[in-house]
Structure formats: structure tokens, C-alpha cells
Chains A and B, each alone.
Chain A
């Protein structure tokens, strides 16, 4: 092992361990740390900010009763120390002090250290220096902190956004971002072209800051996006359509003093509804996408399929292994959350939860399942596509990924993986083109029969289920009249009657009202199913009727918002703008298409669908792009994956493999 690598590992270990071991710097500590049991909770509650996590660990090496959680808003001096202990049911929650200023430095330095392990390659030469891009990034960070002040003030009592020379909270943020981007630029000088082969690791190293509503990769890739702009790289179509919709967002935006609890979407969603936060998210998403496209475009010749496929398997395997360890050992659970930049703490039990799913360290079991299935799919197609030799290590890693897929219990991902693999091997087989077409048609027919036979409900029932769920999620007055059996029109799915009653009795969203009208009042076209009924029928077997029904109940746009959306990463208006029975907890739309509809409206959805359709049809012959891309399309339609930075990045990564051609030389 090279001496530089040893130094890096040592620095990494210091970064991981040291912050949680420092104690007794100022305080006198009259008593040593104690074992955490119900009786000693008072002791820790009295002596807050005294005992480091390391000291507590010495007395509680194995203590299954405790759960370690971050105290997001502690003072810098209390970082890494026990800052609160509470008994909640059978468990004792131990809150360890963390602080936004320290998180920003510590987590960034650790992630930069990880990036430094990417092997060096060809030197990346830029025409212009970084200083302008760094300056703009400082402005963007300032805009973010100003726009989402509410997010920070709620947790961080010292948070102050006023610009002055003695506001060290703000000055620390600004100096640290310069430091991060400067180090990142230097790392990229020799690693830029190799970066593309390490994108699968973004699922393991999520990069979300513990106490900030921002993501490390969002910052550094947006920085690359700015450099790309400086170097003259941008997509004219994307830039024009994006800023056309953004101008409409800005001109029609409604400011509100709401606060959206970002929960597991932390780092990639807007928590506020004001101009500063809207402008920040408009700019950062544009720069982020531009940065990704710039990386993919300029590194095209450096794509190493063999490396990418093993990195997919390695990333998936680490996710499974770290997930298992962190589910059984509380200290690793906390450290994995902090240093991998997880959106939320990993699951604390090895046993599956509701719906028999196990998410490990991923924020969502569904997204985790999609990743494992994609890793397997990519590995099989890449190995077959380029006749890359399969090693025993790969088989071992493949088994771990399959285990992860099994534990995530993502039936849709598993089924689509199998079907896409069948389609792939059928297409590359040597049978005639006519036979292939017939086989595809028969398979499709069989699939419809199988799905239909598993559905035990009648068409009449399933065609109304979605709307019934939507009406059930809406707020209904207690005076709402019932029939002779005591069932009111909402319970009885009598949509015609619902449309006749006043808004004071049932508060329907504009989207639900529209779909109810379409369903009940518009005549059917002969031999064609009604579009709302079809949507409802599809939603039942894939278990989405309830979630999409809630979406309809909540989604209450005016005409302009329906056409152009609320703005990028802007869920606050959708979520809090119209009261329903589901205003607590994070009930997401459960479809990336619906997420896009919220952000960019029908016009945005139409543009994106048109682009996807043209792009997919045009590149149907490129297996390494086409099959994983189809997998992503199928799965993302029924999941919120686009709301997670890692899944969003992965989709763009696969999309950009459209013109992949096997390279002669790697690195």
C-alpha cells in the first residue's frame, strides 16, 4: 500500500473518531460517565454537555437499550458530547451534540478525503480560473441560508443570517465553502475524467449534511456546472425550456410563511416558500443538471464499463453490509448516518417492518430495492455486452446485492428486473426477428392475464378506487348527508352527488374536482376505457390507489400552477396548501411523474415525456443504455425516487450512456 493511502486512511480514522472522544476541556467532571439505565437518566440530564460519546461508549459498549441520535442544534463546545437523554417507551434516547458549522467542515472534509481515493488520470485543463465560480457558489449558499432561515432557526438558536463582520456563524459557513471548493478543484485537476466511473457510489455515500438542508454533491456538482458554463458548455434546449418555466414560477409565485418538514428528503427539497429559497432551488437544480451533463459529456471516452459494473456491485454490497451492522449496533448506526451523509438514521432492527420491507441505511426501502435491482441488471448486461470476464468476487457481490433486493421486498423492481432480462436475452438471441416479435407479444399478453388474474376485484370497483381514496382523504363535514344505510356519498363512491354539494361540506382539491367531473360527466369514447378509470385500474394491482388518491386530495393548483408547477423541489405549497386528512407525516405522491407535475406542471411533464420518448426510441439499439433506462422509467413512475439526490443522479447517469461506445483504452 502506498504511503499516501496509509496517511489518508489515518486521517480518515482521526476524522471519524476524534470528534466523539474530546471531553473535559473546560469543565471539571466530578463523576465519571455511568452505564445508561433508567436510573442514570437523571444524572445525564443534569450533566449535559459533559461526557463525550467515547466516554459513554466505554461504559456502554453493549447496551441495546440505548438509541443514539444527533442533537442537531447544540453549541460547538458540546459537539460530540451527550447533550440529552430521554426515556421513550422501552428505549433510552441518547442525544449527541452536533452543530451546523462543525458538520459543514467535518463531513465535507471526510467526503473530500473519500473522493481523493479516486485514481488520478489525465489532467483536466480549464480555460478559466475557478474564482468566479467559487464567488457565485458563496452567493448561492448565502441565498440558501437566507431563504431557508426557518429551517435553521428552528433547530439552531444561534443562527443569524445578518451580514456583519462579527457574525461568525455566517462567516464560518462562507469561509468553509471556499475551502471545500478549493480542495475539490485541486482534487478534480487529475481526477475529473475518472469521476464518471465512480457514480454508483453516490448511493452509498449520500452526502447529506446532518444539520443542513443541503447536500455535498449538490454543491460540488453545481460548482462543476458553473465551471461547465464558464467553459461554454450548456444545453440550449434544456436551458431555454427550464428558464422559460422558471420565469413563470418567479412571476406567479405566492409567498407564504409555511415551513415544510423535509424529513427524509433533507438536502434535496425546499423547506420554505419565499423568493430567496425559490431562486436558490431554480439555480442550483439547473447548475446541478448542467454539472452532471458536463461531467458525462467530457468524460465519455473514459467510461470503463468493467469498473462501473463492479462499482455498482461494491456500492450495493456495502449498503447491505453497513445496513446490517448498523441495524444491530447502535454506535455504528449513528456513525454510518453521520459519515455516509444519510438522509435519516438507518433502520435499527434487522427485522423487516411494515409490508415486510427492510431499508437498511437507505431512506426508502423502495429506492434501495431499485438500486440493488439496477446493480444486478447493469452487471448482467455489461458483462454480456462487452464479454467482460466474470470473477468469483463479482459473483459473491452479486449474491449480496440479491440479498439486499430480497430484503427490500420491492416486488416491482424484482419483477421488472426479470422481465427486462428476459426481453434482453430474447433480443440478443439468434432467433428470427419475426419469432422475437411474436414471443414479445405472447409474453405481454401473458403478463396482462397474470396481473389481471391476481386482481380479485371487478372492473367497476377498481375503476372507482382511486377517486374513492381521494374523496376519503378529503375533509368531509360531519353534516354530510347519508343514505338509508348511514353511508354518505363519499363512503358510497357516489361521485355525482359529491360534485353537487357545497365546498363547506366537502373541501375538494381542484385536481380531485377535475378528475371527478371528468369521470362522471364526460362521455366515454366507445371501445376505449375512460382515462381516469384506466389510471385507477392500473393503480390497484401496483398498490398505488391509496397514495395516488391522497395525491389527488392534496394537489390543489390553480390553472397557472397546474400548467407550470410550483417550482423546482417546491413541495410546501402542495403539501400544506390544501388541508386534507393527511397533513402530518411525510405522505409523498409515490410517483416521480407526479413529483414532476408538482414541480413543473403539465407543460413540464409534457416536455420531459416528449424528450424521454424521442430519446428512448432513438437509442433503442444501445443495450447498455436502453434496458437499464427502461427499468428506471418503469420503477420511477411508481416511486418517489426522483426526490432523492442519489436516485436522480443515477437516472441521469444511465440516460447519458445513450451514445456509449466501447473504448479501446481505459485510464
Chain B
């Protein structure tokens, strides 16, 4: 997880993250020097985080970077393969092309 946090949010103090997890009233303060990072969750929600600690906290909670994680690409692979198979069978069955 530590590597994932550093990978997405950049370098920071992991011990600081452990401290805030015990403080339910902690409020994140924007860091003007921190470039806003966009995070996503499995429901497709989007959040902009504006400090390293905020970013680390969300990544630690299962949020991730990039909407790729939301796409079921295997579904597209399956339907594309099925489509290709049908077209291929159609072509070969109708002798549009007898040999490859």
C-alpha cells in the first residue's frame, strides 16, 4: 500500500497518515503547492484531492488513480471476439473467401 500511495500521491510521511486515522475530527487543509490529483472509487465517484495527506488517506481507503479500473475490458474483448467469429463464419460459410 505504501508504494501505491507514493506512486499516486508522491512522497510524504506515512506515519502522519497513521496519526490521522485515529482522529475522526481531522480536517484536510489544501496545500497550494500540491498539484490536484483526481481519484476514483468502484462506484465511479470522482474526488479531487488537494494535499498529500488527503490523497494518501483516500488511496489508503481503496480509491484509485485513473478510470481504467472502472472498465470491464474483458467484456469488450468477449463481444469483439464473438463478433469477429460470427463475421468469420458468415464469410467462410457463404464462400465469400474459401481459403485464408
Contact = CB atoms under 8 A, between A and B. Distances in A.
Contact of A102 (B72, B77, B88): B77
Contact of A186 (B10, B69, B92): B92
Given A45-B7, A46-B8, A186-B99, A76 B92 contact: no
Contacts of A187: 100
Interface in A166-183: 168-169, 171-172, 175-176, 178-179, 182-183
Nearest to A185: B92
A55 interface: no
B24 to A, nearest CB: 30
Contacts, number: 66
Contacts of A35: none
Contacts of B85: 175, 178-179, 182
B100 A183 contact: yes
Given A48-B7, A179-B84, A172 B66 contact: no
Mostly helix, strand, loop or mixed at chain B's interface?
helix
A24 to B, nearest CB: 12
Interface string A104-126: 01000000000010001000000
B52 to A, nearest CB: 13
Contact of B88 (A26, A78, A183): A183
Contact of A76 (B7, B8, B74, B88): B74
B99 A172 contact: no
Interface string A426-454: 00000000000000000000000000000
Contacts of A190: 99
Mostly helix, strand, loop or mixed at chain A's interface?
helix
Interface in B48-95: 66-69, 71-78, 81-82, 84-85, 88-89, 92
Given A27-B66, A75-B73, A105 B81 contact: yes
Nearest to B77: A172
- Chain A contact patch, size range: 20 to 34
Contacts of B72: 168
Interface in B1-45: 6-8, 10
Given A48-B7, A179-B88, A168 B81 contact: no
Nearest to B84: A179
A168 B75 contact: yes
A189 B10 CA distance: 58
B7 A168 contact: no
Contact of B99 (A77, A102, A120, A182): A120
A566 to B, nearest CB: 35
B68 A116 contact: no
A119 B82 CA distance: 29
B67 A175 contact: no
B88 A182 contact: yes
Contacts of B88: 179, 182-183
B73 A77 contact: yes
A182 B73 contact: no
A120 B69 CA distance: 46
Interface residues of B, number: 25
A46 B10 contact: yes
Contact of A171 (B73, B78, B89, B100): B78
B28 to A, nearest CB: 21
B89 A75 contact: no
A169 B89 CA distance: 23
B100 to A, nearest CB: 5
Given A45-B7, A46-B10, A76-B73, A182 B89 contact: yes
A6 to B, nearest CB: 15
B77 A77 contact: no
With a 10 A CB-CB cut-off, give which of B67, B73, B82, B84 has the most chain A CB atoms: B73
With a 10 A CB-CB cut-off, give which of A46, A48, A49, A116 has the most chain B CB atoms: A46
Contacts of A46: 6-8, 10
Contacts of B99: 120, 186, 189-190
B37 to A, nearest CB: 10
A354 B92 CA distance: 53
Nearest to B83: A175
With a 10 A CB-CB cut-off, give which of A77, A102, A183 has the most chain B CB atoms: A77
A190 B100 CA distance: 10
28 contacts: A27-B66, A27-B68, A45-B7, A49-B66, A75-B73, A77-B71, A101-B74, A101-B77, A105-B77, A116-B100, A120-B99, A158-B74, A168-B72, A168-B74, A168-B75, A171-B74, A171-B78, A172-B77, A172-B78, A175-B78, A175-B82, A176-B81, A179-B85, A182-B85, A182-B89, A183-B88, A186-B99, A186-B100
Interface of B: 6-8, 10, 66-69, 71-78, 81-82, 84-85, 88-89, 92, 99-100
Interface of A: 26-27, 45-46, 48-49, 75-78, 101-102, 105, 116, 120, 158, 168-169, 171-172, 175-176, 178-179, 182-183, 186-187, 189-190
Given A46-B7, A48-B7, A75-B68, 14 more contacts: A26-B67, A27-B66, A27-B68, A75-B69, A76-B73, A77-B73, A105-B77, A120-B99, A168-B75, A172-B81, A178-B85, A182-B88, A187-B100, A190-B99
